[in-house]
Amino acid sequence: MQLFSQLFTELDAYTATRAKLAALVRYFAEAPPADAAWAVYFLAGGKPRQVLPTARLREWACEAAGIEDWLFEASYQTAGDLAETIAHLLPPPDPAAAAQPLGLAHWVEERLLPMKHWPPERQREALRGWWATLDWDGRFLLTKLIGGGFRVGVSRLLVIRALAAHARLDPQVVAQRMVGWTSSSAQPTAERYLALVSAADPQRDAGQPYPFFLAHPLDPVLAESPHELQAALGPVTDWLAEWKYDGIRGQVVARPTPDGNTACIWSRGEELVSDRFPELVAMASELPPGTVLDGEILVWRDEAPATFALLQQRITRKTLTRKLLADAPVAFVAYDLLEQDGADLRTLPQRERRARLEALAAAMPQPSALKLSPLVSTGSWEALAAERLQSRARGVEGLMLKRADSGYGIGRTKAQGLWWKWKIDPMTADAVLIYAQRGHGRRAGLYTDYTFAVWNRPPLDAAEAQAVIDAIERREPARDGALQLVAFAKAYSGLTDAEFTRIDRVIQQTTLEKFGPVRSVKPSLVFELAFEGIQRSPRHKSGIALRFPRMLRIREDKPLHEADTLASLEALLKR
């Protein structure tokens, strides 16, 4: 693991892309294939499963360092990173305990993966022994892997470039082969790595999708001004506009193999999800061999998309019952044709790919689980902006803008093509800050992770709301049926560093109680929260869960008694 530890340290220290690329190429040239396979997994975003609970890591680190838990907690709150805290607090490595260097694959497969199933005493003995043999960098990396919090400052595209340079392959070939590499269903092996960097073999790659091309969010200034859109993007006729659906991005791959035509359904998360969507597999088997479609997987009822919550049921249920298949039937809404008759079409203009997709969809037998994403045709940016305002009523998130002459790129890049997300304004609610917790990384010293509440009913006036605040300050429990604040959301993003610093001072001045790292605060601040969706949730006390909540601003102008209520959220649910 020493070689990978050195690479991790280099990547963390370098800021220049060229230096990181050179370090990666050197590593792949030196590492054994089995070690390189796991390195690609971790560097490309694979998340190791947590081997040990955080509580055990803390307890055994305190034992090894000979310190009390309160001192560990104080150190952790300062460092903001568990692995860094442990690496700093452990005593120096024991020279007499030094063991022969072992590769990354050996550490992962022979130690870390089996460790999860060992009894606690054996885990404790092994971990303390490993800590004693490793230097600071090794301890830091080991604890990251054990705790499931491995992150490194390289992009997936940079890893692809490094592998392509090492293997002297086209980066697009490597990118296509790496789809699914970080899936939890397939363990990295030396054989998989050698296949990743070997010469191109279309037959072997038959089931592989293409890397997904991602859109950029449209600048808010442009989004609100058709005149600015015209100035920045040119005539509306240079663009294809489609609805932005709220489903699972996916690719349908239908390619011939020695066993006949194969049908694979891949999600953007690089998971092979064919078993979750049998109706899409059946549809794919009717496609001409050598076809790859890009689109959205949606629950489709009454000729319209249903809510994302229904689609989640298809993802989370272990068994697809006949009733579930009937209640949540899925369709694949296609918006791009990436391969036809085995030919890669990604360099063709968007307009030509769209024309070919329309012809393909028209030739499919009906009824079919394949739907064609409709184009939203207008003669001006003003008219298109008016159409966008109908998004929520249609059950979509807004519009997608795709330049008609662009190709299909890799990832979120402007090199081959250009797609923009023109989303509708998010839902919002004004909520009261009631709990706070320190952040991590560069925000380790600040309270930046917040819990928010709304009133269970509208306060009669400011005096009634103040009475509730006074009771909270006295630590009095809420009375059944009385006015109270009900927690409903957590958020940690959206504010500037200066705003977080200012709120941190308020939190420290108004802290009422401490629950480990969490602080309850006297309610005094109202925030405007934004979120993409809202749904019922029996797991939350409020009965409501939000999708992607974040803070828009601090409502300095709004008194506490004017914050939103559960009834306000219910109204959003009905919308």
Structure tokens at 366: 């009906």
Contacts 24+ apart (CB under 8 A), 381-388: 381/226, 381/227, 381/229, 381/230, 381/236, 382/226, 384/226, 384/236, 384/241, 385/226, 385/229, 387/241, 388/422, 388/424
Count CB-CB contacts under 10 A for residue 442: 9
> Which whole number is the average pLDDT over 140-149?
88
Q: Which two tokens stand for residue 359?
A: 């012809």
Q: Give φ, ψ of 502 to 5 degrees.
A: -65, -40
CA 554 to mean position of chain CA atoms? 26
Q: Which of 94 and 510 is assigned the larger pLDDT?
A: 510
Q: What percent of the chain has pLDDT over 70?
A: 95
**Rounded to whole angstroms, how far apart are CA atoms 73 and 82?**
10
Query: What's the pLDDT band for 494 if we cut at 50, 70, 90?
Result: very high
* Cα 334 from Cα 13, distance rounded (Å): 43
Position 504 scores a pLDDT of 94
Q: Is the pLDDT of residue 344 over 90?
A: yes
* Beta bridge pairs of residue 450: 436, 491
CA distance 158 to 281: 33
Over residues 198-213, the mean pLDDT reads 76
> In degrees to the nearest 10, what's the CA dihedral of 516, 517, 520, 521?
140
Return phi, psi of residue 571, to 5°: -65, -40
**For residue 416, pLDDT beyond 80:** no
Q: Residue 362, exposed/middle/buried by CB under 10 A (0-12, 13-18, 19+)?
A: exposed
pLDDT at residue 299, rounded to an integer: 93
Distance CA 572, CA 533 (A): 9
Q: How many CB atoms lie within 10 A of CB 11?
A: 18
Helix, strand or coil for residue 370? strand
The pLDDT confidence band at residue 221, using thresholds 50, 70 and 90, is confident
**More confident: 77 or 422:** 422
pLDDT of residue 294 exceeding 90, the answer is yes
- Residue 205: is its pLDDT beyond 80? no
User: In whole angstroms, what is the distance from residue 11 CA to residue 1 CA?
Assistant: 15
Q: Label the pairing between strands 518-521 and 427-438.
A: antiparallel
According to the model, what pLDDT value does residue 202 have?
60
Number of neighbours of residue 248 by Cβ within 10 angstroms: 24
* DSSP code at position 432: E
Mean pLDDT of the chain: 89
Kindly give the residue spans of alpha helices, DSSP state H, lying in 337-443: 350-363, 381-388, 391-394
- With residues binned 3-state (H G I as helix, E B as strand, rest as coil), the percentages for the chain, rounded to 5, are 40, 20, 35
CA pair distance 125, 503, nearest whole angstrom:
43
| 3-class state of residue 249 by DSSP | strand
Task: Tell me which DSSP letter residue 107 carries.
Answer: I
pLDDT for residue 417 is more than 70: no
Domain ranges of the chain: 2-147, 216-423, 427-574
CA dihedral 49, 52, 57, 60 (to 10 degrees): -150
Determine the pLDDT at residue 309. Answer: 79
Give the HSE-up count for residue 171: Cα atoms under 13 Å, Cβ half-sphere: 11
Is the pLDDT confidence value at 429 over 70? yes
| Residue type (1 letter), 505 | R
Stretch 204-225: mean pLDDT, rounded? 83
Q: List the structure tokens of 111.
A: 């130690």
From 15-29, 121-135, 301-315, 406-420, the region with the lowest mean pLDDT? 406-420
For the whole model, what pTM was predicted? 0.70
Q: Are 470 and 508 in contact (CB under 8 A)?
A: no
- Residue given tokens 């045709």 in the structure block: 377
The CATH number fitting domain 427-574, selected from 2.40.50.140, 2.60.120.1570, 3.60.15.10, 2.60.120.620: 2.40.50.140
For 209, list phi and psi in degrees, rounded to 5.
-85, 175
Confidence label for 407 from pLDDT (cuts 50, 70 and 90): very high
Fold of 216-423: D-amino Acid Aminotransferase; Chain A, domain 1 (3.30.470)
The mean pLDDT value for 158-171 works out to 93
User: Per residue in 446-471, is it b (16+ CB within 10 Å) or e — as a string?
Assistant: bbbbbbbbbbbebbeeeeebeebbeb
Q: Which amino acid is at 33?
A: P
**CATH 1.10.3260.10 assigned to 2-147:** yes
3-state SS, one letter per residue, for 38-84: HHHHHHCCCCCCCCCCHHHHHHHHHHHHCCCHHHHHHHHHHHCCHHH
- The whole-number pLDDT of residue 312 equals 82
What is the pLDDT, as a whole number, of residue 487?
Answer: 93
Q: What is the pLDDT of residue 261?
A: 61
- The tokens for 13 are 């220290």
Residue 187 has pLDDT above 80, yes or no: yes
pLDDT digits (tens, 9 = 90+) for 509-564: 999 998 878 999 999 999 999 998 888 888 788 888 898 899 999 999 999 999 99
As a whole number of angstroms, the distance between CA 106 and CA 368 comes to 49
User: Which range, of 54-58, 261-265, 412-416, 475-479, averages the lowest pLDDT?
Assistant: 412-416
pLDDT of 159: 94
pLDDT at 78 over 90: no
Q: Name the pLDDT band for 296 (thresholds 50, 70, 90).
A: very high
Give the whole-angstrom CA distance, residue 346 versus residue 338.
Answer: 6
**pLDDT number for residue 445:** 77
Q: What size, in residues, is the chain?
A: 575
- Yes or no: say if 327 and 283 are a contact pair by the CB < 8 Å rule: no
* Residues 1, 456: Cα–Cα separation, whole Å: 54
pLDDT at 506: 95
pLDDT at 260 > cutoff 80: no
Calpha distance 530→525 (Å, rounded): 16
506: CB partners within 8 A, 6+ apart: 521, 524, 525
pLDDT at 263 over 90: no
Outline where 134-199 has alpha helix (H). 136-147, 156-167, 171-178, 190-196
Contact of 440 with 500, CB cutoff 8 Å: no
Question: Taking residues 230-249, what's their average pLDDT?
Answer: 93
